[in-house]
Amino acid sequence: MPEKGVNPVFHPCVFWPNAWLQKRFPILTGAVFLGMLIIWSIGGCTIRDRVSFWRNRQDYLTLKLQAAFNHSQDHDNLTYFSNSLGPVNRTDSHTNLIHKDHDISQSPASPPQSEVVSHQNVTAVSDEKPHQSLTHLPTLSNFSWISVQVEPNLTSNLLSRWLDPGGEPCRDSRTVDIRIPGLDDQKPVELSAGKIHEFVIQALDQSGKPRCLGGDYFETDLSGESWKTRPPVRDLGNGSYSLSLQVHPNFTGEYNLTVILLFRHFEGLKFSPHRFAYDRELRRIPVKFYRSNATLPQIRTCRKSDFSRDVWSGRWTRHGKNDDCKISNDGRYRCLNLDFPCQKPWCEGSLGSLESNGWVYSTHCAFRIFIADSAWKCLQNRWIFFWGDSNHVDTIRNLLNFVFDLPEIKAVPRRFDMNFTNPRNRMQTVRITSIFNGHWNETQNYEGLNSLQDEEYRNLLKRYFSEETVPDTIVMNSGLHDGVHWKNVRRFTQGAEYAARFWKDVIESVKGRGKRAPEVVYRTTIATGGYARVLAFNPSKMEVFNGVLLEKLKGAGIVSGVIDDFDMTFPWHYDNRCNDGVHYGRAPAKLKWRDGEIGHQYFVDLMLCHVILNALCAR
């Protein structure tokens, strides 16, 4: 993207860790924050915005050195990725695995859910009849996809387990290790692809005895060459946890199953959880998935009704790869040709434009990857209202830059209301309004849903719904700022109830004026990454907060669709390659990222842009 208009200056930014965080988390203390003062203009109106980055001085210097931007594509050398049953050179029915070491720079490990987990009911739910024509092999069994469900009464069950955990004999012991019968004792571990394999993780205390209380938060990760997923974990409440593994039959080969114990017994939910973080990798088990005759229900492109699912259990799959790909001077990873196609059924459209070096996310349905024309056509004459944190700010800018092809927009502020016009078709405009909800004061942080206690702020929001025309869709999220604000889950629950009532009233008042009520798409908040995994907005707490808020909004009857960004970000949250801890969508830039490496990968947020468009445009 052109450098024009970017004018980096230092700010003594308040944005990031506040004083208590700094004190307790010394790694952060050394950081110097760089703010960018960005001035840009659209349609004659000039907008000034301060975007804070967590960058150190070196980053700043790097940025200055990158004045000359080079738009030429880095490389067009790509390798078609063939999965084991792929069309490429299949001489026999055996798995023909290609082992290429790719350095996607993620650390492996990942997550199940912790406390929240207990409400997730992992079941094999098949939406459709097995698709016989998918493969020419005879069908041995009709398997279904892993899916997770939210336990009914999540909040009340969670609160009661938290307040009265039971399990007296285990109260004083703590989990230090685990045992996974069936995995620990089998070497090498070989499992058939297609099937859902269930195992039990038994938590063990210091003396090696089984624990009888739940609440531990495990991060689980199942990663292979071209498949990354978070195997669901369900807390059985008695010290055992069920773990489910599954890969599609086309993705046989070598995997690692990683299990990290991040927090023990709900400790991630505490107000200052970092002191309690356990964060130890307890297992990294090589697993070989071998070929079977199994078939799975076909994944189809998402329809509107697919967004009614509250929690997703998807996976990232890889369908292309360019080993020589390097970051370009404008911070972009143009590893595959722009028109590098999606492989059915994992996505539809051009995979190259995701700039993910071949990775794409799919879940119980697969997503369409938009191009500018289709995106404009979908959103023309619409009014989309965003209510959320700085991740929304990034996502909106990325949507405008990458999908709507408006690269001149270097940033959007935390609050704005604007009409955008397609430069190639002036008839197509979309109105986007975005109101930050980290604080009622747009320059401050860490109020989250409590922002709604401010009357002026409530009136600001209501005003947009009292005009002659009203937004047709609201996209909302919350969580990160809440993680810092609320003393405990019970207080957060009250904040979530208040928010649900507020929005219900807003929508009722629109209906009361005889207008069509806006649809509400709830987008769960991200899995915070790297160093942020142990802080006040750790994944364990964010997962609970996502579940509680969604339950309250659904209870108010106002949710028309859900996008589970938590699941989407989870496989990339172990380090800071794809996030700075709290954002996945920072603007591309060729400079040192948090982990000291040059550049960062923004494709996880680009994927979200497309998923949002799917939710807004699917029928």
Interaction site with ligand NAG (CB under 6 A):
68, 70, 72, 77, 85-87, 89, 91, 121, 123, 134-135, 138, 140, 142, 152-153, 210, 223-224, 236, 238, 240, 248, 250, 254-256, 284, 292-293, 323, 345, 417-419, 431, 441, 443-444
Cβ 14 to ligand NAG, closest distance in Å? 7
Please compute, for residue 149, the number of CA atoms within 13 A of its CA located in the half-sphere on the CB side. 10
What value, to the nearest 5°, has the Cα angle with vertex 103 and ends 100 and 105?
A: 150
Q: For ligand NAG, which is the closer residue by CB, 7 or 419?
A: 419
Bond from prior residue into 188 cis (ω within 30 degrees of 0): yes
Closest by CA position to 53, among listed 600, 486, 619, 436:
600
For residue 87, give the amino acid letter: P
Cβ 505 to ligand NAG, closest distance in Å? 23
Cβ 553 to ligand NAG, closest distance in Å? 17
Cβ 26 to ligand NAG, closest distance in Å? 26
Residue 130 · residue 142 · CB < 8 Å: yes
Please tell me the distance from the alpha carbon of residue 403 to that of residue 99, in angstroms, as a whole number: 33
Cβ 256 to ligand NAG, closest distance in Å? 4
Residue 257 · residue 137 · CB < 8 Å: no
Classify burial at 123, counting beta carbons within 10 Å of its beta carbon; exposed 0-12, middle 13-18, buried 19 or more: middle
Cβ 593 to ligand NAG, closest distance in Å? 21
Cβ 254 to ligand NAG, closest distance in Å? 4
Q: What is the largest distance, in Å, between two alpha-carbon atoms of the chain?
A: 71
| Residue 142 tokens, joined | 């009709």
Q: Give 483-519 as a DSSP string.
A: HHH-SSHHHHHHHHHHHHHHHHHHHHHHHHTT-PPPE
Distance of CA 1 to the CA centre of its chain: 25
Q: For ligand NAG, which is the closer residue by CB, 128 or 597?
A: 128
Cβ 273 to ligand NAG, closest distance in Å? 26
Cβ 45 to ligand NAG, closest distance in Å? 8
Output phi, psi for 499, to 5 deg. Answer: -60, -40
Q: For ligand NAG, which is the closer residue by CB, 108 or 483?
A: 108
Q: For ligand NAG, which is the closer residue by CB, 102 or 377?
A: 102
Strands (E), 275-341: 280-290, 315-318, 320-321
Cβ 135 to ligand NAG, closest distance in Å? 6
Cβ 376 to ligand NAG, closest distance in Å? 15
Q: Give 177-218 as a DSSP string.
A: EEE-TTTTT-SSEEEESSSPEEEEEEEE-TTSPBP-----EE
Q: For ligand NAG, which is the closer residue by CB, 52 or 292?
A: 292
Q: For ligand NAG, which is the closer residue by CB, 7 or 443?
A: 443
Count of beta carbons in the 10 Å neighbourhood of residue 318: 23
Residue 542 · residue 478 · CB < 8 Å: no
Q: For ligand NAG, which is the closer residue by CB, 283 or 523?
A: 283
Q: Give me Rg for the CA atoms of the chain.
A: 24
Q: For ligand NAG, which is the closer residue by CB, 159 or 378?
A: 159
Q: For ligand NAG, which is the closer residue by CB, 489 or 542?
A: 489
Output phi, psi for 361, to 5 deg. Answer: -100, 140
Q: For ligand NAG, which is the closer residue by CB, 240 or 525?
A: 240
Output phi, psi for 144, to 5 deg. Answer: -125, 170
Q: For ligand NAG, which is the closer residue by CB, 220 or 223?
A: 223
Q: For ligand NAG, which is the closer residue by CB, 330 or 605?
A: 330
Cβ 591 to ligand NAG, closest distance in Å? 17
Please tell me the distance from the alpha carbon of residue 109 to that of residue 220, in angstroms, as a whole number: 5
Output phi, psi for 241, to 5 deg. Answer: -135, 135
Q: For ligand NAG, which is the closer residue by CB, 145 or 523?
A: 145
Cβ 284 to ligand NAG, closest distance in Å? 6
Cα-Cα-Cα-Cα torsion 41, 598, 571, 269, nearest 10 degrees, comes to: -80
